[in-house]
Structure formats: C-alpha cells, structure tokens
Amino acid sequence: MKRMIIAVAATLSIVGGMFHNASAVEKDVKEVEMKRVVYVSPEVTSKVEELKEDMKRQSKVVKTFREKKRDVASEIKLQKSQKDANVQNQLMEERKSPFVDNLQDGLWETQDFAYREIDTNAVKKILKEKKISERIKTLEAEKKKLSQNVDMEKQVLSQMKIDLRELNSLDGVVFNPNDVTELSNISVKQMRQILQDTDLQEFAPVYVKIERELHINAIAICALSALESGWGTSKRAKEDHNYTGFGVYSDEAEGINAASGEENLLMTAKHIRSEYLTKGARYDNGPSLVGINTMYCVGDTWAYKIADIGYRLMKKLQEDNASVQ
C-alpha cells in the first residue's frame, strides 16, 4: 500500500501509513464506470418473476372483491332508501284494516277477516317492505362475506410481498465500489468458485470472514489482494505472505509482513477499517474506493483497477452459474 506523500520522506514514519508500490499492476483503467452491481442466481430470478406475476393476479383478485363489496354496499343503501320511502307512505294514507294488522304480525289466518274490506294498496306496501327487508338481509350477509374475502386475499398478497423481499435477498451478491462497507453476501462456496485456478482460492474463507467480522465487502478486499499480489503469484506473496502490499512504499521496502497469508489479509482489513472506514478516522474520506485511494495509494488509478477486478469477479460468478444451467 502506498500512501500519497504530501510533504517529505519523514511523513512515512510519522503516520505509519501503509505505502505500497502499485507499479506491477495492470493497465490504466480509469475509464471504468464506478457503479454498483448485483448478481442474482437464475433460479432466484425465475422465482422472482413468477412471484411478480402471481402478485399481479392476486392484486386483481383483491380488486375484484373490493368492487363487488362496493357494489353490494351501494345496493344496500338503495334498498334502505326505498324501504324508508315505503314506510313513510305505508298505511299513513290508507285505512288500517285488521287483515293488514295481522299481515304485519305475520298472521295469515283469514277466518275473522273474510268479510272485511281489504286495503289492497296497504297490503302491497307491506309485502314490498318485507321483500326489501329480506333483500337487505341477504345483501348484508353477502357484504360481510366479501369483507372476509378481501381481508383474506390481502393477507395472501402481503405474504407474497414478504416472500418477494426474501427472494430478492437470496443469493444476491453485491459489489459496490462506491461503498465498500456494503456487504457482498457472497458465500465461501461462491468465492471459491470465482477464484478457481488462481493462487488466491485458498483464501476464500478469509475474504468471507473479513466481510462478516469487519464489514468490508469480500469482493473488494479480494480484488485488492489480487491487484497487489498478481493474483497471489508475486514474490512478496509467496515469500513474505504479503498479498496486499502492506507497508510496501517502494520496490525496495521490506513491507510489513505476516506469518501467513490469512494474517496478512486480516491485518490489512483491520487497518482499512480503523483508519479509513471509521467515521472521523485519520484517513476517513468516505467508503468508496476512490475515497480510500486518496490517502492510501499514490496515483488515482488504483481504485479503478480494483473496481475492474471486482467487476470481472462478478462476471465470472454469473458466467459460471449460467454454464451449469
């Protein structure tokens, strides 16, 4: 790691900055677009699309029940207004006969009323009121059932939304050069997969461990070590277990080495977390690779080179999974 020298050589010992030599890295890739990328497995993508279609259909079901409920409520209102109008006129203008009184009481015996005058208009109004009342009762029961249906179907839709959120989080591997504290969610198996045939594959569990314990994106820290060690093939990596250029401020610098590659990776990650990614820390310039690059490495292409490697790792993850479909 090569921190930008602001004043004189004495600066090297003052801040304990981890300078390194990036001269052995690849071509300038500053034209690389710094953007967040996400990989989701084809299986999950398929399930997500299926669930989205199911949600559309379910939404239509809920809408249909709501419309039916609204229609029934409107009819109930209409029936009640008709009943009120009928009651207003019922028997108020007509002579109330014993036969009519008994109709209201539900008694249909005619033995005492056979010879009495029957007000047919009053009878019709009573019968109409009974019919309206029965209709309202039926509609109220239908409305209650529709309300239950709406609630039930809404619960189904809500569960679908929860399932969709869970599916969107499954197997979603993230690489964001603009925020290396955003976790990748990559598994050790996936990390081994994308590092296959490289000298860094053995460190797959270490990258994932760094992410879980220090909250630094595993793809980002892996890309950093790939850049600094030539994918684990450099002399410093092989002889000094220095896969990150830790403490290497020039080609001649001894570097701050470790007893193992794992120790070196953890040591580097802890330094980045405490000195660069902690709010208010000595070299805090935001969580982006470009922000870290400002004080971490001489030159302004280092961040883009790491991003480029990160994108290639993500692409390999996608291609490898596509090949087994």
Q: 11-41+171-323 has which CATH code?
A: 1.10.530.10
- Burial class of 260 by CB neighbour count within 10 A (0 to 12, 13 to 18, 19+): exposed
Q: What number of CA atoms fall less than 13 Å from residue 141's CA on the CB side? A: 6
Q: Please, what's the largest Cα pairwise distance for the chain?
A: 129
* DSSP string computed for 127-183: HHHHHHHHHHHHHHHHHHHHHHHHHHHHHHHHHHHHHHHHHHHTT-EEE-TT-TTS-
R_g over Cα of the chain: 39
pLDDT per residue as tens, the chain (325 positions):
443 322 222 222 222 333 333 433 344 556 788 999 888 777 777 888 888 999 999 999 999 999 999 998 998 888 888 877 766 665 455 444 454 455 555 444 444 444 344 456 666 767 777 888 888 888 899 999 999 999 999 999 999 898 888 777 665 899 999 999 999 999 999 999 999 999 999 999 999 999 999 999 999 999 999 999 999 999 999 999 999 989 887 777 788 889 999 999 999 999 999 999 999 999 999 999 999 999 888 788 999 999 999 999 999 998 876 554 4
> Domain-by-domain residue ranges, the chain?
11-41+171-323, 47-169
The pLDDT, as a whole number, for residue 171 is: 57
Location of structure tokens 């600094």: 228
For 28-40, give one letter per residue: b (16+ CB within 10 A) or e. ebeebeeeebebb
- The number of beta carbons lying within 10 Å of the beta carbon of residue 53 is 10
CA distances from 40 to 166, 172, 254 (A): 12, 5, 42
Q: Which of 8, 7, 30 is nearest to 299 (CA)?
A: 30
Contact status, residue 166 vs residue 296, Cβ threshold 8 Å: no
Task: Give the torsion sign (CA, 210, 211, 212, 214).
Answer: positive
Q: What number of CA atoms fall less than 13 Å from residue 303's CA on the CB side? A: 22
Task: Give the torsion sign (CA, 80, 83, 87, 88).
Answer: positive
- Burial class of 92 by CB neighbour count within 10 A (0 to 12, 13 to 18, 19+): exposed
The pLDDT, as a whole number, for residue 195 is: 97
- The number of beta carbons lying within 10 Å of the beta carbon of residue 197 is 6
Question: DSSP 3-state assignment of 96?
Answer: coil
